[in-house]
Chain A
Amino acid sequence: MNNNPYQPWLATIDDIKEEVGGERAIKTFKLVFQDKNIQNNFTYLPGQCAMVSLLGKGECFFAISSSPTKKDYIEVSVMKLGKVTSALHECELGDVVGVRGPYGNYFDVKGWQGKNLVFIGGGIGQAPLRSLINYVVDNRRNYGKLDVIYGARSSKDLSYKQEFAELEKRKDVNVHLSVDVEEDGWKKFVGFVPTNLLRVKPSPKNTIAITCGPPIMIKFVIQNLEKLGFTEDQIFTTLEMRMKCGIGKCGRCNIGNLYVCKDGPVFSYKQLKSLQGER
């Protein structure tokens, strides 16, 4: 281990899954640390993040999208948008990236034991939720009813299709997929994610709702959760910001006096409401 928080460990790309094609493509990269000790010591919880870099291109902050129940690797799901993410999308199996972390806080998976969970995701916002969902499913006995609500612009834009197909087969997980606009062959819900939430109508009783997606989606999801009777401390979200250091020093990811990288990225709606600052 090194004591230099800025210096990443090297990891090899062990698998690449193309989740979504097209202009805003999404790929999930499976990363294995070159040093076995690092791999064994890289312990994290759902919601935490990592800085992933390509030497010569730069670094980006990603939610770890794999579940910590998988010990031999970590995964990050990357939407192709800027310089670093575009370069990552060019990578091939066996290529080397830098990884440092884990950073930030996490979902309260211990405190939520015995509760029903509702996951409401949109687009690439599903990445941190995927880590949590897989963790909960791998520890299924510890949790109550599970509802997974997820949507994207079109069926082509839905991530983790294979995993959702597996989840749908299970009797102990309820999956509710949606697309924004009608398309041939789509038999499930058509409409925005917040509307699907109202249709699914989860009971707030002994339930925690966790949402991540585009800011506008989160806004309406929270409104609808409140309509359904969820209180502000039953609603959680995970945020993102432009980041450089990931460790609360470079200054740019603050909302008020809190840094999303260090004090977040997971916030309760109660916390967010009391927090004054640009987001």
Chain B
Amino acid sequence: MDKYVLPKDNLSKFVSEMIGKYKVFAPVNDNNVTLFKQIKNPKEINLEFTNSKVPPKNLLFCQTETLFKFTPGTKGKIHPVDFDNGGRTVFGIRPCDAKSLAILDRVFKGDFEDPYYLTKRKNTILVGLSCTQPCLNCFCTSFNDSPASPEFVDILLTDIGDKYFVEVNSDKGKQLVKTMNKLFKSATEADGKKKKEVEKKAKDIITRFQKIDGITEKLDKIFENPFWETVANKCLGCGTCTYLCPTCHCFDIQDETTMTDGGRVRIWDTCMISEYTLQASGYNPRPARMNRVRNRVYHKYNYYPKNFEVIACVGCGRCIDSCPVNIDIIDVVTRAGEVKP
């Protein structure tokens, strides 16, 4: 892995050069909430953020996306949409959210490749930013991940004082640095050591821990356990946990029309509402909140590992931060591990 340093004075130039070449998305302050948005000027970036309220998965798997347009009716016609083939950069993505994209890739690839997600994914460079101030409910270390891991980004910046330590992790990253090599300097051993210190300090800030050893196998044994009723009792079914989850990928498809135009639209959906599985006959395989809460946990900790050999949680803590009734996935999974089958 190539290593450089980027003097802080050069950061704005680095971002400006990217803005000249790509659509650049970065954390910005929007009504006191940090969100990833397209920026036109490096000054818009909020570097003091912990993590964004909404994960940046929405830049690739859009909250709402038109799959194609059509002339509605029984004599209708289909009008394909053009794919946005332009280069994109996500600046400031956290290592956990970058991992979530590697998790989502498994769903959107496969036998039927999803061109909407994959076109954007292919054209996106991830410029990660290590966490130096993990949040109260961060637990990426429970998955043996690090708040300063370059594993899932193209290049990773880590704030080591007056400069950023830069780790280049892919050809895309190499290419990016190469085109702006005047801004970067080679890293010294001391810089590398400093990065390790920063990483250790960040890891030490993380106090929450989820016990996941053997959880997939354990869940196989406690599907019918009354434990799930106790977990679901206080759930309001609002779906916030799923909308803000960087690995949730469920969606709805709806036709939206006027008299003369229409579009088939994909919209984020949530497995926490009963309509999600309600069949036209009136039958519902997941009629109760318990079924839905249990499905959410199983999807991430049992079904996903069975299908893709990875737990579909990155430990970002957003579902805990935003749950209106304090349902805590760390606590739920840890307790599930302790339930007697």
Contact = CB atoms under 8 A, between A and B. Distances in A.
Interface of A: 2-8, 10, 53-59, 81-82, 85, 91-92, 95-98, 215, 240-242, 244-245, 247-252, 254-257, 262, 276-279
B67 interface: yes
Interface stretch (B31-39, B85-93, B134-142, B271-279): B271-279
B78 A55 contact: yes
Contacts of B74: 54, 91-92, 95-97
B303 A254 contact: yes
Contact of B112 (A5, A55, A57): A5
Contact of A242 (B70, B71, B264, B279): B279
Interface stretch (B15-23, B253-261, B331-339): B253-261
Contact of A4 (B80, B291, B299): B80
A3 B113 CA distance: 8
B239 interface: no
B255 A55 contact: yes
A82 B257 CA distance: 18
A164 B251 CA distance: 41
Contacts of B307: 257
Given A56-B70, A254-B299, 19 more contacts: A4-B67, A4-B80, A5-B112, A5-B115, A6-B264, A55-B73, A55-B262, A56-B72, A58-B255, A82-B280, A97-B74, A244-B251, A247-B112, A248-B112, A249-B110, A249-B112, A250-B250, A276-B223, A278-B285
Nearest to A239: B285
A250 B253 contact: yes
B250 A252 contact: yes
B220 interface: yes
- Taking chain B's interface residues, is the majority helix, strand, or loop, or is none over half, making it mixed? mixed
| Most central of A5, A251, A262 by chain B CB within 10 Å | A251
Interface residues of B, number: 54
B178 interface: no
A214 to B, nearest CB: 8
A10 B73 CA distance: 12
Contacts of A215: 283
Given A81-B281, A276-B223, A257 B302 contact: yes
Nearest to B306: A257
Contacts of A55: 70-73, 76-78, 255, 262
A-B pairs with lowest CB-CB distance, top 5? A56-B72, A251-B250, A82-B280, A257-B303, A55-B76
B75 interface: yes
Nearest to B256: A56
B249 A251 contact: yes
B70 A250 contact: no
